[in-house]
Structures are given as structure tokens and as C-alpha cells.
Structure 1
Amino acid sequence: MPVLIVIPARYASSRYPGKPLVTLRGSTGEAKSLIRRSWDAAMAVDGVDRVVVATDDDRIRDAADAFGAEVVMTATTCRNGTERCAEALDNLGGHYDIIVNLQGDAPLTPHWFIADLITGLQAHPQSAVATPVLRTDGRALNGLLQDRREGRVGGTTAVFGADHNALYFSKEVIPFTGKTYSDHDETPVFHHVGVYAYRPDALRAYPTWTPGALENLEGLEQLRFLERGTPMLCVEVDANGRQFWELNNPEDVSRIETMLQDMGHP
């Protein structure tokens, strides 16, 4: 069952232009770009047949070429990472049973999150799309709530049913708990990890659908699947003591660098 990882990257982000080329310093003090750290995470995943960076920008292409990544150029008209993955798949000629979208804004994504996601989709042949979710501890939940209080769009949260199919994703913190949690408390809120695994038919169908009202309101590409009635399997992953955060805003750079250094991540 051939597996392809695509790292979609665009320069022209409305919230954070040039984000893939932002550098982050880890425990050794070495500055590595966000796209390089995403590439390293993808290359650490076992059982993957090919990894490519998909971009529409020459600056990102040149940076990826410099550290030895394979690059696929895609159109500037791609509206999000899923559409860019679909175009990359076609440009590569297809022939993959699972395509993983490893978005380049989560440099703390452990390789086992991706491996568990692939295994989860393989174990559910009736599922066309899957995505990881991580139960938050009090520290992570309080960080999400602080972002919202201060008017920042931070991480995304997910709710799902007993069958682990997604019910909804939001940039608000859902579900509401009304409780206060200490740093190490387990909470009922799940942080959505921005990685997706698709079967090729679902991925190819996606760009043909018009974005719906919920996708436009939330700015979350995965809601297009839910609005079209395509179930999305939520695969719960375990951080194994590691911290997880995404680079959504410039203010996140220092937070992520501290996490990298605390974890001894180079």
C-alpha cells in the first residue's frame, strides 16, 4: 500500500506571510526553517514511500532544494493545503493508496503521530479521510483559552462521536467545560493536529467541491469534507510527554523555540 507524504507550503499567508521560511532555534542553537523541520519530521516516519514539498513559490522551492527535498510546483490558485496535495498527486502521476498532508506549521509534530494516522486509516477501510487528535492537558488547554481571550486565532479543537468520526472542528475551544485545570490535569478537550491522510478518490474529489459556509466562517479546510457528508476518522494519538503546538502567529515563535529547547530537540 504505497504511501506519499506531501508538505504543502505557500508564502502568501494572510496571517503570517513567509511562514514556511521562518527559522526556529532548538536546543543546539541551530536555526532551521519551518519547512526544513517539517521535512525532517516526515523523513522520520517509517513505511513511507515518498516525501515531497508542494509549493507555488520560488523562494520556498529554492530553500527546499538547498536541504535536499524533492519539490513539486503547484498552481497559485490552490485555496488550501488539501487542494495543493490533490494537484501534487496528479502531477506525480497518482499510484499512491494513502496520501498524507503534513502541513508545514507544526514543527513539533512527532513522527509517531503520522505513523499512527496511517495505521488508523489502514485499519478502517470504510474511511476515506483521517486526522489525528490529541487530548489536551491543562497546560495546553489554558494556552488555547489564553489565545482566544487575547484575540488570537490559535489551535483548532475537535469533537467526535463514539465511532470516532468527526462531528465538528473549530478555532473556538470546544466543548465548553466551565472548569479550571492545572497544568497536568487531563481534560475532555482534543487539540486537532493539522495532519490529514486521504484515500486518492476523496482527495481528488475535494477540489471539485465549492467551499461551504462553515469552511468559510472557520477558515478550516477539513470542514469541506464534513459539509459534503464525507466522514473523517479522528485518530487519537499520544504525545508521550512531549509538548505540541502549531506556528499560527508570530507570537508563537518564542513559545515553540522554548518547547524545542525544553525537549532537547536540535
Structure 2
Amino acid sequence: MTVALIIPARFASTRYPGKPLAMLRGVGGKAASLIERSWHAANDVAGVDRVVVATDDDRIRDAAQSFGAEVVMTSSECRNGTERCAEAVQNMGITPEIVVNLQGDAPLTPAWFIEDLIAGLRADPDAGLATPVLRCSGQMRADLLAERAAGRVGGTTVVFGAQMQGLYFSKEVIPFAGGHYAPDDPTPVFHHVGVYAYRPDALAAYPTWPEGKLEKLEGLEQLRFLENGHRVLCVEVEGRGRQFWELNNPEDIPRIEAMLAEMGAA
């Protein structure tokens, strides 16, 4: 096996309990759950050998199996998606070249984001993991700032160094960028897309480290790698006119449904 794509999903989300089973309407009013739409997005990715939903909840298992997904049950002790992916790989008894973690709250993730991510990790043999980053337009930056002003998290942003190594990830909008940006202007802010590609040894090491202080403060699992001195490769991806937004809050549903309609998704 070369590439295994795992969708970690838990019911007991602090901000949005039951989020994987939230229904999203596409073109014509057809409704499908968040986990089903994420599974379809995963199956659109070229070069993936196996797509699996990893969960600890019977309700999510039953829903996923109803639309044909393979499900691997994991412990309720997993603290985040990376730990759940590590346990899923162990339970599956496989050693793929690359494990992809597609967060179950990102059904709008274009296939080429993940394909470019896999290619980026393969091209850098010194990297144990990689994650995609998308340059924000003026409009996207304004939307993220508006969400924070309203007390919500619209997405995660990242700053990285000259060799594309992640320096910090935050739910605040970083870096500070004063001045005005027109809606279509590129900005120095990069949206972190919630997908990861790991080599198996890096993934297996992750659960052996204690939860990091910054990881706990931000609620961002990737910071544990940085806090333990591991490089996180950032792979820049192109939007190609596609809008991207994650389902973080119930208020995000109308926005995502509008994007699904614009894409022509059923």
C-alpha cells in the first residue's frame, strides 16, 4: 500500500457536538451529512489506495457504513485527529508510504490540494509530515478577521520560513498585516488547510509525546510537532477560483451550503 487516507471523526466536539452528522444541502436541496461529503471529497483524490473513516462513536460508524465507507473503530481516549489516525493505522495493521489525515470538517477540500500535498512530501525526504497552505485574498482575510471579531474561529492561519518550514499556527489571524486589501488582492496571510500527510514513523511518534502547552492553548494538534522540534513542511496550494471554508461552528452551515451550490455539488 502506498497512500492511505483516513478521515478522523468524533461525536463529542466541544464547540459543535455531533458535527460529523450535521446535514449540508447541495444543489436541488439534497442533504448529506458532513462525514459523507468529506468521504466523497476523499474519494475524488487521485493516487489514494484506501479511504477509511476512523471513529469511536457507533452513530458515526453506522452513518458511514450506510453510504459505503470503510470504518475503523478507535479509542475514545484519542485527543485529536492525529492520535486517531495513528491508532487507526495500528489497528489496520498496515505500513503505508504516506498516511493522509483529511479532517472530517472540510468537505470543500479540492482533490488537488491533497494531491499536491502528497507530491510535496514525496519531494522532501527529510520531512516527516506536510500540510497545505493557501494564500488569502483580501476578502478571505477580511472574513477571517470578521469571524474573530464576532468571537468565532473562521479558520487557522500559519507563518512559515524561507524553506517552507512552519514557524507557528494560530486561530488568530497572523501575521499582523496593516493597511487595506481589495477583495481580490493577495495578502501575506496564509490559511492553513486542515489536511496532513505523514510518514509512518512521524505519525507513530506523535502519541508518545505529552500534549504541548501551545497545542492546548490554541487547540491545534500540529503544534505538538513544533513543540517537540519536528519540522512541519508547508506546501502552498492554489485555489483555482474555488472557495474554501471549514465547518467549525453551526453558523458556518449556510456559508458552506452556498459554496456547495456555487460548485454545483448535489
TM-score of the alignment, normalized to the shorter chain, above 0.5: yes
SS in 2 for 1:197: strand
Distance 1:89 1:179 in 2: 46
Which residue identity is paired with 1:6?
I
Q: Equivalent residue for 1:36?
A: 36
Shift of 1:264: 1.7
Q: Equivalent residue for 2:121?
A: 121
* Deviation digits for residues 4-24 of structure 1 (CA, Å, limit 9, x no counterpart): 000000000010000000011
SS in 2 for 1:89: helix
1:230 matches 2:230: yes
Distance 1:28 1:157 in 2: 33
Q: Equivalent residue for 2:185?
A: 185
Q: Equivalent residue for 2:21?
A: 21
Q: Equivalent residue for 2:4?
A: 4
SS in 1 for 2:250: coil
Shift of 1:263: 2.2
Which residue identity is paired with 1:264?
G
Distance 1:140 1:28 in 2: 27
Distance 2:95 2:155 in 1: 33
* Deviation digits for residues 143-165 of structure 1 (CA, Å, limit 9, x no counterpart): 10001111112200011001001
Structural mapping, 1:41-60, within 5 Å: 41-60=41-60
Shift of 1:97: 1.0
Shift of 1:171: 0.3
Which residue identity is paired with 2:166?
A
Shift of 1:45: 0.7
Question: TM-score, structure 2 length as denominator?
Answer: 0.99
Structural mapping, 1:91-240, within 5 Å: 91-240=91-240
Shift of 1:260: 1.1
Q: Equivalent residue for 1:63?
A: 63
Shift of 1:202: 0.5
SS in 1 for 2:53: strand
Which residue identity is paired with 1:230?
H
Which residue identity is paired with 2:149?
R
Shift of 1:212: 1.2
* Deviation digits for residues 127-179 of structure 1 (CA, Å, limit 9, x no counterpart): 00100000011111111000111111220001100100100000000000012
Distance 2:216 2:180 in 1: 31
Gaps of 5+ in 1: none
Distance 1:114 1:45 in 2: 7
- How many matched pairs? 266
SS in 1 for 2:180: coil
Shift of 1:250: 0.5
Which residue identity is paired with 1:145?
L
SS in 1 for 2:221: coil
* Deviation digits for residues 85-108 of structure 1 (CA, Å, limit 9, x no counterpart): 000000111220100000010111
Distance 1:62 1:179 in 2: 50
Shift of 1:265: 2.1
Which residue identity is paired with 2:163?
D
Q: Which moved more, 1:182-191 or 1:77-86?
A: 182-191
Distance 2:196 2:211 in 1: 18
Q: Which moved more, 1:127-136 or 1:92-101?
A: 92-101
Shift of 1:29: 1.7
List, as ranges, runs of 4+ consecutive aligned residues in structure 1 with deviation greater than 6 Å. none
Distance 1:182 1:107 in 2: 27
Q: Which moved more, 1:93-102 or 1:54-63?
A: 93-102
Shift of 1:27: 1.9
SS in 1 for 2:246: coil
Distance 1:38 1:9 in 2: 10
Between the two proteins, what is the percent identity of the paired residues?
A: 70
* Deviation digits for residues 27-61 of structure 1 (CA, Å, limit 9, x no counterpart): 23211110001100110111111010000000000
Distance 2:251 2:263 in 1: 20
